[in-house]
Amino acid sequence: MPTAVITGASSGIGAAFARRLAATGADLVLLARDEARLTANAEQLRAKHGVQVEVLVADLATEEGIAAAERRVAHGVDLVVNNAGFGQRGTFLDTPVAEEVAMLRVHCEAVLRLTHAALPDMVARGGGGVINVSSVAAFFSRGSYAATKAWVLSFSESVAHDVAGNGVRVMALCPGWVRTEFHQRSNMDTSGIPGFMWLDADKLVSAGLRDYARGRSCSVPDARYKVVTGASRLIPRRLSSALSARVGRRYE
Ligand code: NDP
């Protein structure tokens, strides 16, 4: 059976990846900080799909956590989903620098190091791949969150090119607004986001996995967000960033 490691698997998009991949018969390694939630998710997936599910409790904002994850992805893994992440709880100057650095570690350093740790074994075996969860925010200049997601997109497309021809795939998944715990955790006022722009995590993951199977290096699920990201390339960057700032403000 193929084995997939999913970071940020205790809730939201990561938990949706776990449900979808378990339904296809994949064995799983679920990584996050909340052991109780990971254990509950693992028990449900084992009972429903008869797959093997390991739990790896790790904080990807720490050296120890990233190193433990690196060790786990280095051998015998067919898919790594680098999904763990969180939003900014204020503007750049309102945010303690330690929180900014933690975001860089979780969104960029962990993604880089887990991709670097996983790919050599995959290339040697001629199969497998990595999905790095970026965001539609990657197409806009909006805080260090968007900057980290732009890095994830650029990095993933570049490494996808490097490994093309080895039977190994790397893809950036760029979701728009998805109903998860993300916005509440980052204290975001989502009242300005029109209802029709919200995506369902399970549908998002199915669309992302279809694009991954097709060998895409960047996946923007849903026509609504293909229009948004397409338009972002056509209008001046200052204007697109000003427009994006009008939605998803934070509570004061
Ligand atoms: P959730 O808040 O529902 O899930 C975030 C997950 O990341 C949780 O499992 C959390 O687990 C884990 N996580 C957070 N920090 C760490 C850490 N330091 N170490 C290990 N795990 C961590 O949000 P989403 O499911 O929405 O977010 C998943 C990804 O999708 C993120 O990268 C986010 O940026 C991206 N995204 C989300 C969008 C949305 O609208 N929801 C839009 C575009 C992109 P725990 O707390 O147990 O550690």
Ligand 1 within 6 A of CB of 69: no
In this structure, the number of other CB atoms found within 10 A of the CB of residue 66 comes to: 22
With residue 57 as reference, give the H or E element that holds it. strand 53-57
Is residue 115 in contact with ligand 1, taking CB distance under 6 Å? Answer: no
| Residue 230 exposure: Cα atoms within 13 Å on the Cβ side | 7
Element (H or E) spanning 170, and its range? strand 168-173
Ligand 1 centroid from CA 58, angstroms: 13
Distance from residue 240's CA to the centre of ligand 1 (Å) = 25
Query: Is the C-beta atom of 86 inside 6 A of ligand 1?
Result: yes
pTM given for the model: 0.96
Q: Helices H, strands E: what count in the chain?
A: 10, 7
Report in angstroms the alpha-carbon separations of 118 from 125, 176, 181, 193. 11, 27, 28, 37
Predicted confidence pLDDT, tens digits, the chain (252 residues)? 899 999 999 999 999 999 999 999 999 999 999 999 999 999 999 999 999 999 999 999 999 999 999 999 999 999 999 999 999 888 899 999 999 999 999 999 999 999 999 999 999 999 999 999 999 999 998 899 999 999 999 999 999 999 999 999 999 999 999 999 999 999 998 988 999 999 999 999 999 999 999 999 999 999 999 999 998 888 877 777 777 666 655 543
- Parallel, antiparallel, or unpaired: how do β-strands 79-82 and 53-57 relate? unpaired
